[in-house]
């Protein structure tokens, strides 16, 4: 069973299937040792050794030299030991070859099993390594089954299955077997119990990758995505910035006749997207983050990162959004607590004069910005 061709075949497996030959030989020796003990006694201290140089396979048993034998499987009397070698003393360990005549047949069967197991492990590891490189990337997958709301997808070029839990799905979408969908590789769970790929369409990273796909200026680094916040299926806010003063970052993301943003919205099944120009000034940033509502002024309140945004009375519901969605996303985008008040209430709370000064200050800044542009 074990000859030069066997070890040459191992060399080929190492090259073609990326199976580590030393690890394979070690696994085969362990499997053969277990098989030997099963047939000849589990209590025995034995091991199987493969020798590549001599193309041999041998079984060795190990016994300790003692004055009086209590366990024949593990011990040998000093008298018997001296028959083998006169220099043996109590406490020495004796190794003897005990290879059965028909062990080649057993070894052949075990070797086949170990080869198949190692091939499966190697192919799985290669697939896992390849997918690890694709973490936080977009993939196009095919829906293969849906079970209790969980969508399972086939990942091209891999034997691994992608799992899209309900919280990773866009609420407004319906999925059907055979559908080809874009998914974001959220995480790869690899544990002793289970290994699977977590994919998502609700993750903010999914939107970020769609923008990278549709907007070359983002892919090239001319436009930087500062932050993305999202309530999947309803609204996304994305903050962008550029150091290129000749580049209209927002316009680049929208595209000619709105084609780029239209493609992204279509992929998101109609989800609204607010593209926000990032500002170092937090108050200006907050005003823009409350888009599409018009903001009259923003000023700091007592407390850490706490500001009040004042909007026209008739724009209050737009600024807050349905169920507080718009202001909630603005809070997450900017990292500031935002108290939105209509103009009439703000006058009463803060005084006519303070409100007028803040409003004039913001309007003056906006006019200066327009003149510079």
pLDDT at 161: 84
Higher pLDDT among residues 216 and 368, named by residue: 216
Under a CB-based contact definition with an 8 Å cutoff, are residues 327 and 319 in contact? Answer: yes
Q: Give the chain's mean pLDDT.
A: 86
pLDDT at 353: 44
Higher pLDDT among residues 82 and 373, named by residue: 82
Under a CB-based contact definition with an 8 Å cutoff, are residues 290 and 333 in contact? Answer: no
- Find where tokens 């593990």 sit: 74
Q: What is the pLDDT of residues 298-352, one digit of tens each?
A: 999 887 899 999 999 999 999 999 999 999 999 999 999 999 999 988 877 765 5
Higher pLDDT among residues 103 and 264, named by residue: 264
Please check whether the domain covering 203-278 is classified as CATH 3.30.300.20: yes
Higher pLDDT among residues 141 and 12, named by residue: 141
Contacts of 271 (CB under 8 A, 6+ apart): 170, 172, 232, 233, 234, 235, 236, 265
Q: Is pLDDT above 60 for 49?
A: yes
Q: What is the pLDDT of residues 154-163, one digit of tens each?
A: 987 777 789 9
Please check whether the domain covering 135-200 is classified as CATH 3.40.630.30: no
Mean pLDDT of 108-127: 74
Q: Is pLDDT above 90 for 259?
A: yes
Would you say the CATH fold of 282-373 matches that of 135-200? Answer: no
- Find where tokens 């709301």 sit: 149
Mean pLDDT of 32-60: 83
Say which CATH topology domain 4-131 has: N Utilization Substance Protein A; Chain:P; domain 4 (3.30.1480)
**What kind of architecture, by CATH, is found in domain 282-373?**
2-Layer Sandwich (3.30)
Rg of the chain in Å (alpha carbons): 35
Contacts of 307 (CB under 8 A, 6+ apart): 282, 283, 286, 298, 299, 300, 301, 336, 337, 338, 339
Q: Is pLDDT above 60 for 367?
A: no
Query: How does residue 369 score in pLDDT terms, banded at 50, 70 and 90?
Result: low
Cα separations in angstroms, 264 against 180, 183, 255, 258, 273: 16, 13, 11, 10, 9
**Domain segments of the chain: what residues?**
4-131, 135-200, 203-278, 282-373
Higher pLDDT among residues 161 and 107, named by residue: 161
């Amino acid at each position: 069973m074990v000859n030069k061709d066997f070890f040459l075949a191992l060399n080929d497996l190492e090259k073609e299937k990326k199976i580590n030959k030393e690890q394979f030989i070690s696994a085969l020796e362990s499997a053969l040792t277990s098989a030997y003990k099963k047939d000849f006694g589990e209590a025995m201290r034995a091991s199987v050794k493969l020798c590549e140089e001599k193309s041999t396979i041998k079984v060795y048993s190990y016994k300790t030299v003692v004055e009086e034998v209590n366990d024949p499987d593990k011990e040998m009397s000093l008298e018997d030991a001296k028959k083998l070698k006169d220099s043996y003393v109590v406490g020495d360990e004796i190794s003897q070859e005990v290879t059965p005549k028909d062990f080649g047949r057993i070894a052949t069967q075990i070797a086949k099993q170990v080869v198949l197991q190692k091939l499966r492990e190697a192919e799985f590891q290669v697939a896992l390594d390849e997918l690890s490189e694709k973490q936080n990337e977009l993939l196009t997958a095919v829906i293969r089954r849906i079970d209790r709301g969980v969508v399972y997808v086939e990942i091209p070029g891999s034997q691994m299955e992608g799992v899209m839990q309900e919280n990773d799905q866009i609420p407004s979408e319906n999925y059907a077997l055979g559908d080809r969908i874009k998914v974001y590789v959220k995480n790869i769970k690899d544990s002793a119990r289970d290994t699977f790929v977590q994919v998502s369409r609700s993750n903010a990273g999914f939107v970020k990758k769609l923008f990278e796909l549709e907007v070359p200026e983002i892919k090239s680094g001319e436009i930087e995505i500062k932050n993305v916040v999202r309530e999947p299926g309803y609204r996304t806010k994305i903050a962008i910035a550029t150091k290129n003063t000749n580049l209209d970052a927002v316009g680049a993301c929208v595209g000619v006749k709105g084609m780029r943003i239209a493609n992204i919205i279509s992929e998101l099944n109609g989800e609204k997207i607010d593209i926000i120009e990032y500002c170092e000034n937090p108050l200006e940033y907050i005003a823009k983050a409350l888009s599409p509502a018009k903001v009259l002024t923003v000023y700091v309140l007592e407390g850490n990162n706490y500001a009040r945004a004042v909007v026209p009375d008739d724009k209050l519901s737009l600024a807050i959004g349905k169920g507080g969605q718009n202001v909630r996303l603005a809070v997450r985008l900017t990292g500031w607590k935002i108290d939105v008040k209509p103009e009439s209430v703000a006058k009463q709370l803060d005084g006519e004069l303070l409100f007028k000064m803040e409003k004039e200050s913001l309007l003056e800044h906006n006019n200066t910005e327009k003149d510079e542009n």
